[in-house]
Structure formats: C-alpha cells, structure tokens
Structure 1
Amino acid sequence: MRGQVFPERAHPSPQPSPARERARVAALKRHCLDLVARGGGSETRAWPLCLALLALLLAILPAQAGQLDRAAIEKNFPPPLVVGEKDAALPIWPILKQQAGAYEVFAYAFESVDLAPIPGFGGTPPDLLIALAPDGTFRDVKVITHREPVFLEGLGSEPLFAFVEQYAGLSAKQAIRVGRPNARAAGAAPQTTVDGISMATASTRVINQSILASALAVARGKLGFGAGNVGLTVRAKPDLYEPLSLPDLLARGWVKRLTVTNADATAAFKGTGTEASGDGPPDAILTDLYVAYLNAPTIGRNLLGQARFDALMRELGPDNHAVMVLSAGPVDAPENPVGERFVLGAVPDRLAIGQGGLIVGARDMAVERRDAGQAEGLPAGNWTILRIDQAAGFDPSAPWALTETIVRERGQILSEKIARTFSVETALPEDLFTRVKPEDGPSWTDPWRARAPELAALAVMLAVLVPVLARQRGLVADQRRFTAFRLAFLAVTLGFVGWYGQAQLSIVTLVGLVRAATATHDFTFLLYDPPSLVLWAFALAALVAWGRGTFCGWLCPFGALQEFVALLGRPLRIRQVTVPPGLDRALRHVKYVLLAGILVAAAVGSPLADSLSEAEPFKTAITLYFVRSWPFVAYAAGLLVLNLFVYKGFCRYLCPLGASLALLGQVRILDWIPRRAECGSPCQLCKVRCRYGAIAPSGRVDYAECFQCMDCVTIIHDPAQCVPQVLARKRQRRTTPRSVVVA
C-alpha cells in the first residue's frame, strides 16, 4: 500500500479563527482607525502606535492545533483498515489491519501541526496527515492545509501534493534532504533525498522539516527510537583485524549462539495446549543457530575467509550491513528457520533482527552457498547472510538481537496458530567501528550551505553599493558614469536577486511574522530562505541610516523592472502624467490602509490576508516569471503599463511593503541628502526633477517617499546643473576685472 494509503487528496483550506478573536481584532482595528482620523495629517506617526497595539494582541491568540476528528481519520483510512482508539499520551491514531485472524498496527496516523508546528512562509505551520509504520517507514503523507504563498494562487497545490508523495517508503530514521528538482534522476540517493520544487525551495524545506520533526516525535514516544541516530552512519573499521578461532569469537561474545531445546519450547508454550508438540527428550535440540555480524573483519574474515569476505563486501556495498545465521540443529526439523524450505533472496518469515524495540528490515542476499570458505570448526549446516540496508538505521555498535519465531497449531478443523519468540542479543565493542555523525546544525543550515555561492555574490553586491551611496562626491557626482552604474546595478538586482535568486522581499514575510506570532511564536521559517533574510537584514540596517529608499530604489527586483520599462517611454514618445498635488497626497495614504488591512487579517487568521497580499505583483512578475493565470498576469502587466504614464505609481501609492518600510524608516538618524539655503526658495530644480514627488516646494526631502535615485544629489554636486552654483559662477565672472593691455 505504498503511497496509496489515503484514498483522496484534498486541496488545502484555511483554518477558521474563533469568532471571539475576530471580534477583539475588529475592535482593535476600529481603535487604530480612530487614532489615524484624530491624527489628521500625521498618519506616519499614528500608524506605528496602531501596529504596536496590534502586536500586543498577538501574544494572547491561541496556537494552531490539529483539526481531524475520528470521522475524518476514518475517511482517510477506509476498510479494510480500522482506526483504533486515540493514544492517551500522544495525539496519534493507531491504524489497524487484520493479519492471521488478529489485528496488527499497520501505521500510526497523526497531524504534523500537533507535534511539530513549524511556521511556513505564510506564517502558519503547514498541516500534514502522516501515516508512519511501526518500523519508522512512511506509509504516506497528505497535505491537509497550508498557506505557503508560492503555492496559493501561484504554482497551485498540485506540485506540493506530488512533493509529499515522495516520502512514501522512506524511513524516518534517515536524514532526508530536499534536493534540487530531479535530484534523484541526477544520481542523488533515493532513500535520503526528495526532489525539490523550482521556485519553492524554502517552502519545501519547511515542509520536509515538519514531516521529519513530527515523525521523530512519534518515534521517540511510541516506536522506541529517537532523533539521536537519525543520519548517523556506523562503519566497521576495515583495517582492524585479528586472527581468531570460532571458540575465541564465541568466548568474546562476537559470535552468538541461540539454542532452543524441547524443554525451552515446552515452557514457552505452556498453557496453550501445544506443549507436547516436540519430539524426543527434553534436552533434545529443536534449533541451534550461530549469529554473527560480518562487516567487522575480525569476525567476517575469520568466518568466511579472505577471498569470500572481500567478495561479500563488494557485493554488499557501502554502509550496508551483513549478518550471518547458520543452523547447526536438525536439518529436517520443522522448527529450523533456515532449513530446506528457506527461500533464497526472501525476507525470512521466522527470523528477525531488532534494535531499540524495532524490527530492522533484513533480506537474504542469495549469495553462493558452495565453497564459501567458512572457518575451520564452524558447524556444517544451512546458513543465510541477511542484508540490512543503510536506510534501516541499524547501528551495529549498539546492542541488537536476532529473534526466532516458532509456530505451533492446535485444533484440527479450525486450527489456530500460536507463536512464541526466542532471541539472542549481540553487543559488539564500539572500538570495532567508526561513527560518522550527520552534519552538525539544525535543518535550516542546509540552505545556507547550499546557497553559499549566491550569498557570497550578494555580499559583494551590497559591499559595492554601500560606498557608492555613502561617498556622495565620488561616483554619484558624475551624472554620466553614475547613470551607467545605476542601470547596471538594477539589472543585477532584477536578474540575479529577483529571477535567479528568488529573493524578492514581500509583504508576505510580514504576514508570516504575524501568523507565526499568533500560532507558535516560532520564527525559524525565516532561516530557510538565506538570500531574502540577508536582504531583510541589510534593508533594516539601511532604514536606520538612510531610510526606505535603499531597498525600494536599489534592491527591489520589481522596482528595477519598472525602471527599465519606464525607459521605453522616451522612444515610444509617452509623456509622464503629473498627478495633482491633492490627489497625490490622498493616493499615498492607500498603501498604509492596505498594510493595516493585511496585518489585521493575518492576526485574526483570515485568508483575506493572502488575498490582499496579491496587491503586490511580485509573485507574478518575479517569483513565477509571469507564468500564472491571466488575471494576475494582466494585473502585473497593467502596473508596468501604468508606470509608463505615472512613474512607479505602484511603489508610491499601492505597495504595502513600501508602506511598512516607510513607517520603520521613521527611526532614520541621518538627513543625508545635502540641501542649500537656496533649495526651495528660489531654486525648484530638484523638486521638478524628482520623479517620485519626494521633495516639497520648500526644498524639504520627504524621506518616507524618497527612493534614493540620487538625482538630486548629483544635481547639487554638479556645478553645471545646480542653479545656485551656476548663478554664483556667472556673478563671479561679471565682477572679475579684465586685464588692460597698454601699448
């Protein structure tokens, strides 16, 4: 039933919020609007107080929890599977399957949000229904709900559904990594790698962490193994060899012997009516098994001989394990688990290897039995070599046990099978092995390592930008060279930061922060997208020094796209429209109202936050390369066309991210744009040239609306453009006396 446990795959739907919380936030919203109304023209001072009040609410909102009741679980596990009683200690449901007249646990079903509520980039944890087998193998994974922005009205949920289907058959004991798209086809290990999704790398890593963390919580609490050995590789030291005889190996406990006599079996089956099934005296041997872990050369070479041991290691492959079981008991005894009826290459039905309370998958290797080169003194008899794959999480340096099952029947018409197990434990010394620990650090360190080259290039990019902007009398003062530099930098922003690096900052991140504060108070989801986080850090630092303009004017990919589109206006002979001052002031308030609506909707858990966030065209134009349904493409394209007539109209009037940066930019400590006494009176050149309308008639710079294009800085440092300097130079020429030549 691999990958087919769940009969259907539902599309995610947002989880409704309690009415009481909606009412409380609605009251807060009304209070915020009252503050703004009373503030008159000081909206940028009133909004920070409003948002601070909103933040106080976040701490008292309830955390998200699972939403499936028994009926919903039964719908996902239809007959012949049976849903048992919910566990008293953990929020898990045992899923039972009838086997040989009795019910056995087929899987444990649980919701990831109950055990590992890791916020995604929508701010709330994805909720996944996971079916985990008793041996730690994923039966299936299904998406219940999610708010990952890249999938909502973007790529669609189908790629996400296909992504989680890859986990069926993988083991929670392995450190599963998210690779690049088609990583498996390119040679990545299929038992430890799942194919990622282009344009959704960070979201899939959050999903992966949610699946593994919740599964390991169940494994620790229910299955008997924990996170400590996940990804751990234990190898026998290949050069550690000591010639030993079989009695020596038995004396050290490196080869174990499991002997079951008639008396042992009679005691085990006492009270079942099958005690007398064995023939012969009480001390007669039913089964006599020798058990040995072969990877360690001191054991394997001594038992098999050098040539056969080398051949076995080559056939076994790296990091897999081999266990030999040899039967020295009666060959024709029905209880002999490796007798004549043993099927080569099969999983032995009466032998099992267990560790930590779990059965470890082991299969006969079907190696050549003749001329095996067994050690002198090893008893003759049928034998098998069981292969344990590395994905099983087997640790030979820790105690493990071989278990033999003996089955007897009672009754002749409706016979009943009764089973009893006998086991022997092996504990090998740790100095026979090397333990290769998984890479240190939590799962979010993976994208930082994977994207190290991109981060290095981004760091160089920012390192180039800062001194150019800081040294105003350098490159900035040369209009021709600075214009070329700016266009080249914006091209890198659009191509590298945006379309290649997928590091377009968005209001979606703030929505995620609000929802994370509401649900889990866990903000580690930010760490799964390193380039965006670095840009956020830089943009926030720049707010303190320069204000909003550093990001909006230099590092926003969609802003760069608008500037390149605006260059088409001149050859197309499109003249910019001047928005009347009164209308301009009114339109600038729209982005603040939109910002407040988005954050309030996010705080109450409303899906309206996702809808309002679509006011940003970033997902369509940058993240998805305009490959999206036509309404979104038409909207993004319409904003670019609007940009031909109203320069960066979206940025100035609609961008909620720009509104948030403008508010945070109130902490700016520098008035870094140089001004002269003549600025505003009488000179209006900078005001006229400012395409953003960020310079008042008085000459004052409105830093909340400044996009740091540096045009005014270039003008004020250019003696050929700055009107006061031009006039001063003319006056100087008029007052300088001319030399008189006397004949």
Structure 2
Amino acid sequence: MIARVRLLLLLIGLLAGPVTFAQTLEAEIQQLFPKATRIEPKQDDPPVHAVYQLDELLGYAFESTDYSSLQGFSGKPIRLLIGLDTAGVLAGVKVLEHHEPVFLHGLGEQSLFDFVDQYRHKSIGTPIVVGSEKGAAGEGGSVTRIDGVSKATVSVVILNETVLLSALSVARKQLDGFASGPLASARTDLYEPLDWQGLLERGYVQHWTLSRDEVERAIGQPLDGFQNLSLDGDEASFSDIHFAYLNAPSIGRNLLGEAGFARLNEELKVGEQALLVLSSGMYRHVPDDFVPATAPSRLVLMQHDRAIELHDMNFNNGAVMEWLDVPAGDVEANVFRIKAHNAFNPAEPAGLRLNVDLQRNHLVRSDAAFTRDFQLDRDLFEIQSAPDEAEPIPIWLRMWQERWWQVALVVLALAALTWTFLRQHRISRHSRSFHLFRAGFLVFTLVFIGLYAQGQLSVVNIFTLLLALWHGFDIRVFLMDPVIFTLWSFTFVSLFLWGRGLFCGWLCPFGALQEMLGWVAKRAHIRQWKIPDPLHRRLQWLKYVILIALVPVAFHSLTLAERLAEVEPFKTSITLFFVRAWPFVLYAVALLGLGLFVHKFYCRYICPLGAGLAILGRLRLFSWLTRIEACGQPCQHCKHQCEIGAIRRDGRIDYDECIQCLACIVILNNEDQCAASISARKKAGKAAHPPLIATDAMAPVAMRRR
C-alpha cells in the first residue's frame, strides 16, 4: 500500500511539478485519518500535527524521531509517522525511513509494513508487547500482544519501543487521563513498627477474597472440570490475595525487615516502585509454570483506567511468609516492580486487576476480569510536582534479560572450546574422541548458534563497527543482539591469541554447514577436484579483493554495501534458511554444491569476512601449531591431509588460511598417524634387532635350513 501511494505521488510530481516533503507527509497523515478535513502545521511544543474533521479534533500525527532517539539494529533510528486519536488509540503507524538490513535485503519490506499495520486501533492505555505468550490475557487483560517477525526480533522490538515511547510522550502532554499530575513519593522519615494485624487494620496490607460464587456468576458456569485450578473443594475460596505497597517504610520495613527493605531499595532504580502480592486458593496470581523475572499474565495494576504492567523482581520473600499463619507451600508470593515510565501515583486511587483465564480443554475456555480498588493513606507520601520522567529500562538490557539462557549456553560452549585449544596436545592424543567432539561442536554451531540463536556473523558487522568508529561509537547498537555481541567479543580476543581460524573453523554456522557437506562428499565417494598450488594461491586473493571493494562502498552508502554484501550466502542459508527469492537461493546452493567437489570452496576463495579476520589475525601473539623438523622435509602427510590447503610444501602453516581444525595436531600426537613417528619407530626397532650376518662357520647350518 505504501509503495502504491509513493508511486502515485511520483506520478503526480511528474505531471504537476515537484512534490514537497510537507505535501508527502500530509498525504501520509490523511491515510492515518481518512475523515480529516484539516491538518494543522507542526506545532513546536509538543511537535505534533493536530488533525481535524471540520472543527472536531480527531487526534494528532507526529514523527517518532521528535520523541525517541533509539537506534535500530542498523545503527540508525527507525523513522515512523504515528497517528493517535483523542482516546489514546493508535490511528496507525507508517514507516517513513529505515535502514534495517533484514528487511531491506532479506525478508523484504512488506513484512515490516505488515507488522506496523497491527498497531491500528490498539490502545496505548494497555502495554503493547511483541510476541505471543502461552496463557496470556487478551487485549482486555494486562497486555496487548502483536505478532513479531521471525528472524527480525531485534528490529521489531526496537520499533515497538519507539512507537510506545513516542505515543505516550504525546498522550501525557495532550490527552486527558494520560497527563501526569502531581506525583507522590514515600516519606522516608515516617516509620511505625506494626505487626501483621496492625498492617491489615491500617489498610497498609490490602486483603481481597474472591469467592467461587463471584467467578461462577461472571463466567456463567460451575468451576468443576477446569484444568488450571490449584485446589479442589466447594468451601475453598477461588482466590485469597494480600497485597501491599512496599516503598513506604511503615509498610516495607515491617514486611521485609531492615535487611530486606534495604536490599529492595538497592534493586529498585530511580523512580521505580514495588508491590508485594501473596495469594492462595484455587487460582493464584501467577500460574504454576510462571517464569521468574517476567511479567505475569494474570495480574495488572490499574490507575485512571490504564493498565500498568508489573514485572517480577525475583525477590526472596521468605521474611514475609513468616507473617502468615499458613504453610509456606500453600501461598504464592512475589515482589513486582512498577517501572518509572508508567508514572504510577501511589497516593491516588488505584486497583489491582486479576485476569481469570480458565481452560476446560484446548478448545473450551472461559475468561473474566476482577478488580479490587484501593486507596493508600496519603499521609505516607510527600506530594510533589511531576519530575522529569526516568528513562525506561534500555532495550539492549531487556534483550539480554530475555535471551540470558542462550547467551549462557554460548558462553559455556566458548569456554569448552577455549579449554580444548589450551589443552590441544593432550586432547588430540585421543584421535577418535577428538574428531567426535569436533563433529558435535560443528552441529551445535550450525543448529543452535546459526539456525536457532541467529548468531551468524557477517562482513556487514564489520561495516557497522567501522562506521560507528567513524561517526561516533555507541556500544548500545552492538548490545542489541546479545548472542552476536558475545560471539564478536570472543572472536575479537581470539584473533590476537590464535588468529582467525578459531572462528572460521569452529564458530561460523555456514562454515560448519560446508564441512558437513564435506562429510557427505566422503561418504558418497565424490571425487575431489585438485586445484594446482599456483592457481590455489592466486584464488585465495579473491576474497581480499572483495573485502577491499566493499569497505569504501560502506562509507559512501551503507545501503549499497549491504546489497553488495549479498556475496555472502549467510543470510539466505542461515538467517532465512533458504526461504527467499530464487536467485539468492540458487546462488547459495551453487556455492554449497561447489563445496562437494572443493572442500569449503566459499571459505577458501570468496569469503570477505574471513579475509577481514585474517588481516586482524596477523596481529596474533602466537604461531602455536606445532611443527617438527620432518614436516615438509621430507614428510608431506599433514599437507596432503589438510583439506583447506593451509600447509605449505615446506611444512609451514599459512595462518591466514588455516581454520585451526587441529587435524594436523592430531596426526602429530598419534604415533600411528605421524609419518615421522612411524619412521622413527621402525628405525628404533631395527636398531634393537639387527639382522643376522652369515659366517663361514654358520654356512652348513644355513644350508641345512634351506
């Protein structure tokens, strides 16, 4: 649709003269508000276009770059046009400009346009989260979920954050119900020792009992037969909940104790608040499979008809459990974080909403929402003017929190690989075990690092780094993808220790795929093409020529450089797993096909990433692959066994080409494989058992033996 509009504007320009940027933007705003009859020029504070139908205000249109400086995965902001009506509902979102490689040169821009189309008619009063979640509430619950884009997780999460930050900034300044009034902060000097009963009587701890009858009336059927209820029995309450606001010392110190309250304040960031929730009964505030440090789907805080998402702090609540006269196993307890950008005012009326989602089977379900209103004692707080809003948790940090287990698994694999390299001589003595380990590691690299965690490094990453150093380095751009960052950090360090081969031979998913095809070629007895050494040496320079051509193009136009970087088949084969236009697939398959006849053909002759790493690898501290006097003079066994062709005729290792598969080290450390060791053993055997020399006295005996 966007492409058609722009084509129409271009045709109009050809017929009626040049179209100004303002006219183009007005046409885009008209699409967001089809009923608009008047679009006002952009005002200064806040920078928005007011949109009217006659004299009725329909809403506001604004550009995201006026409110958010978040950088996309490309290192540049995603520029959006956002429409917001007077009720806080998004009229729509349009992409004005972006540089995200996965959409420009991978999935195609249509998948991006389809993604932003989901924002139409979504209320910003409910947090909008990318991705589905099992058991999550619908749009009337705690969050609104929109579908993500496979293979573009980082880009769409950044885009979503850009939309919400921009829209909420406008809403708080322009819309009733969103504007921040005077805020309240807990009085740190006010403390009174109270026991559990005193906290209940003061209303510092709120007690809410939701009965079976209330729930059955709301869903219109008995509770018997539903699967996700914790208790049986007609007399049990459906849900028995206690909750308390912890920032006030008279509440938090009494519940958590001195040490617990101090620890809570250390963990809370500036402007953040905490809410303790305890529950028992048939339906607790979190399900049995709730993941700590995430947002619950069952529970949400309400204020001014807006839902405020809660985030579990994974806080030890043992001190609180001692207050309750019930076994610890019968009570679920969590401390939830209220983030600063939600502008929750504890001195104003609020409510705790429990979203009930009951499942009879995978087809039949019933849901309802129940809210317990509450008002805290205003004497606990100091009322003050609204301060500058605290920065929300950075996206890069959220990405690390969400993908922590992937990073942990990669770090464990890198630790195992480092240990293997440090103990290479001892490990390589066990030839079969070593080759099995290497094969298993390559499978891990391809399947987990490449296909699942999307950890395929690319020459585009080098462009991004060089441009960042040139225009102003911001490490947050690189922290957006924790797996890529971890792999790049390890690779960068290893370059100065062992050279480029550790990455190319062990951590490159496409390299692992090529090596597996080499296994297939051996099994199928495919005859390998023998490339003469002079031609082999000349072809090796091709990848350096490609790299040298790409780098200056990147400084001229990153978009053009990214297109030319399609010389790498990584995006087609690993990132998109061949789900792409046929020319790209044909190119990738052709390279892999050549690898059946020439071992790792792409790595040896074409890969610009390998060339770049080889240049940096020349700064390595060690030339650590052991050679002996017999290597190359006269022994050529390792040279013939080196499938990558990185051993020269004189026995020297070409570290610029070596992928450090350690096959030569295995040969060297196994006496039944190393030709020099076999020859030395034979000589030693002959020396220990010299041949008999016949004498005249022995001649008759010899004659008789014949």
Instruction: List aligned pairs for 1:658-673, cutoff 5 A.
Output: 658-673=610-625
Distance 1:558 1:709 in 2: 15
Are residues 166 and 509 of structure 1, via their aligned partners in 2, closer, same or farther at CA, if it must alter by over 3 Å?
A: same
SS in 2 for 1:634: helix
Instruction: List aligned pairs for 1:377-396, cutoff 5 A.
Output: 388-390=305-307, 395-396=344-345
Instruction: List aligned pairs for 1:273-352, cutoff 5 A.
Output: none
Distance 1:399 1:188 in 2: 23
Cα shift at 1:530: 1.4
Residue 431 (structure 1) aligned with residue 380 (structure 2): yes
Letter in 2 for 1:388: D
User: 26, 40, 43: which is aligned to 1:87?
Assistant: 43
Distance 1:616 1:12 in 2: 31
Residue 537 (structure 1) aligned with residue 537 (structure 2): no
Are residues 440 and 108 of structure 1, via their aligned partners in 2, closer, same or farther at CA, if it must alter by over 3 Å?
A: closer
Are residues 735 and 240 of structure 1, via their aligned partners in 2, closer, same or farther at CA, if it must alter by over 3 Å?
A: closer
Q: Could you say which residue in structure 1 is the equivalent of 2:81? A: 129
Are residues 239 and 192 of structure 1, via their aligned partners in 2, closer, same or farther at CA, if it must alter by over 3 Å?
A: farther
User: 491, 497, 508: which is aligned to 2:443?
Assistant: 491
Cα shift at 1:182: 8.7
1:184/1:195 contact within 8 Å kept: no
Q: Could you say which residue in structure 2 is the equivalent of 1:397? A: 346
Instruction: List aligned pairs for 1:137-148, cutoff 5 A.
Output: 137-148=89-100
Residue 557 (structure 1) aligned with residue 509 (structure 2): yes
1:526/1:533 contact within 8 Å kept: yes
Q: Could you say which residue in structure 1 is the equivalent of 2:53? A: 97
Distance 2:549 2:185 in 1: 51
Q: Could you say which residue in structure 2 is the equivalent of 1:58? A: none
Distance 1:430 1:625 in 2: 61
Distance 1:427 1:116 in 2: 34
Deviation by residue 1:23-56 (Cα, 9 ceiling, x = unmatched): xxxxxxxxxxxxxxxxxxxxxxxxxxxxxxxxxx
Distance 1:68 1:172 in 2: 32
SS in 1 for 2:495: helix
Percent identity over the alignment is 38
Q: Could you say which residue in structure 2 is the equivalent of 1:716? A: 668
Distance 2:101 2:133 in 1: 19
Cα shift at 1:563: 0.9
Q: Could you say which residue in structure 1 is the equivalent of 2:525? A: 573
Cα shift at 1:657: 1.5
Distance 1:516 1:222 in 2: 37
Q: Could you say which residue in structure 2 is the equivalent of 1:459? A: 411
Q: Could you say which residue in structure 2 is the equivalent of 1:505? A: 457
Letter in 2 for 1:149: P
User: 631, 639, 643: which is aligned to 2:591?
Assistant: 639
Letter in 2 for 1:627: V
1:491/1:560 contact within 8 Å kept: yes
Cα shift at 1:173: 6.2
Q: Could you say which residue in structure 2 is the equivalent of 1:161? A: 113
Distance 1:660 1:227 in 2: 52
Q: Could you say which residue in structure 2 is the equivalent of 1:605? A: 557
1:241/1:297 contact within 8 Å kept: yes
Letter in 1 for 2:419: P
Distance 1:137 1:718 in 2: 71
Cα shift at 1:589: 2.0
Instruction: List aligned pairs for 1:211-222, cutoff 5 A.
Output: 211-216=163-168, 218=170
SS in 2 for 1:128: strand
1:122/1:511 contact within 8 Å kept: no
Distance 1:171 1:526 in 2: 32
Distance 1:394 1:574 in 2: 67
SS in 1 for 2:523: coil
SS in 1 for 2:418: helix
Residue 73 (structure 1) aligned with residue 25 (structure 2): yes
Cα shift at 1:567: 1.4
TM-score, with length taken from structure 1: 0.62
Distance 2:198 2:447 in 1: 52
Are residues 399 and 442 of structure 1, via their aligned partners in 2, closer, same or farther at CA, if it must alter by over 3 Å?
A: same
Distance 1:227 1:529 in 2: 34
Are residues 213 and 656 of structure 1, via their aligned partners in 2, closer, same or farther at CA, if it must alter by over 3 Å?
A: farther
Instruction: List aligned pairs for 1:153-302, cutoff 5 A.
Output: 153-172=105-124, 176-180=128-132, 191-216=143-168, 218=170
User: 68, 78, 88: which is aligned to 1:116?
Assistant: 68
Q: Could you say which residue in structure 1 is the equivalent of 2:634? A: 682
Q: Could you say which residue in structure 2 is the equivalent of 1:368? A: none
User: 664, 687, 692: which is aligned to 1:735?
Assistant: 687
Distance 1:162 1:239 in 2: 55
Are residues 642 and 698 of structure 1, via their aligned partners in 2, closer, same or farther at CA, if it must alter by over 3 Å?
A: same
1:182/1:196 contact within 8 Å kept: no
Deviation by residue 1:471-503 (Cα, 9 ceiling, x = unmatched): 122222222221111111111111111112221
Deviation by residue 1:139-194 (Cα, 9 ceiling, x = unmatched): 21112232322223432223222222233344556654323489968999574433
TM-score, with length taken from structure 2: 0.64
SS in 2 for 1:150: helix
Deviates more, 1:489-498 or 1:86-95: 86-95
Are residues 544 and 585 of structure 1, via their aligned partners in 2, closer, same or farther at CA, if it must alter by over 3 Å?
A: same
Letter in 1 for 2:380: D
Cα shift at 1:96: 3.0
Deviation by residue 1:586-625 (Cα, 9 ceiling, x = unmatched): 3222222222333322222353212111111111111112
When Rg is computed on C-alpha atoms for both structures, the one with the higher figure is 1
Distance 1:181 1:509 in 2: 31
1:448/1:530 contact within 8 Å kept: yes
Deviation by residue 1:243-265 (Cα, 9 ceiling, x = unmatched): 9xxxxxxxxxxxxxxxxxxxxxx
1:180/1:198 contact within 8 Å kept: no
SS in 2 for 1:607: helix
Distance 1:233 1:556 in 2: 52
Are residues 664 and 154 of structure 1, via their aligned partners in 2, closer, same or farther at CA, if it must alter by over 3 Å?
A: same
Are residues 723 and 427 of structure 1, via their aligned partners in 2, closer, same or farther at CA, if it must alter by over 3 Å?
A: closer
Q: Could you say which residue in structure 2 is the equivalent of 1:590? A: 542
Q: Could you say which residue in structure 1 is the equivalent of 2:478? A: 526
Cα shift at 1:459: 2.2
Deviation by residue 1:227-252 (Cα, 9 ceiling, x = unmatched): 999xx999xx9996769xxxxxxxxx
Q: Could you say which residue in structure 2 is the equivalent of 1:38? A: none
2:347/2:381 contact within 8 Å kept: no
Q: Give the number of equivalent residue pairs.
A: 523
Distance 1:134 1:654 in 2: 56
1:720/1:726 contact within 8 Å kept: yes
1:399/1:428 contact within 8 Å kept: no
Deviation by residue 1:188-223 (Cα, 9 ceiling, x = unmatched): 957443332222212212222332344455457766
Are residues 632 and 12 of structure 1, via their aligned partners in 2, closer, same or farther at CA, if it must alter by over 3 Å?
A: farther
1:181/1:195 contact within 8 Å kept: no
Letter in 2 for 1:462: L
Distance 2:474 2:71 in 1: 7
- Structure 2 unmatched runs, 5+: 8-18, 187-195, 219-238, 242-302, 310-341, 351-374, 383-388, 693-706
Cα shift at 1:635: 1.0
Deviation by residue 1:497-522 (Cα, 9 ceiling, x = unmatched): 11122211122323333455677744
1:123/1:515 contact within 8 Å kept: no
Deviation by residue 1:517-556 (Cα, 9 ceiling, x = unmatched): 6777444232222122111111112112111111111111
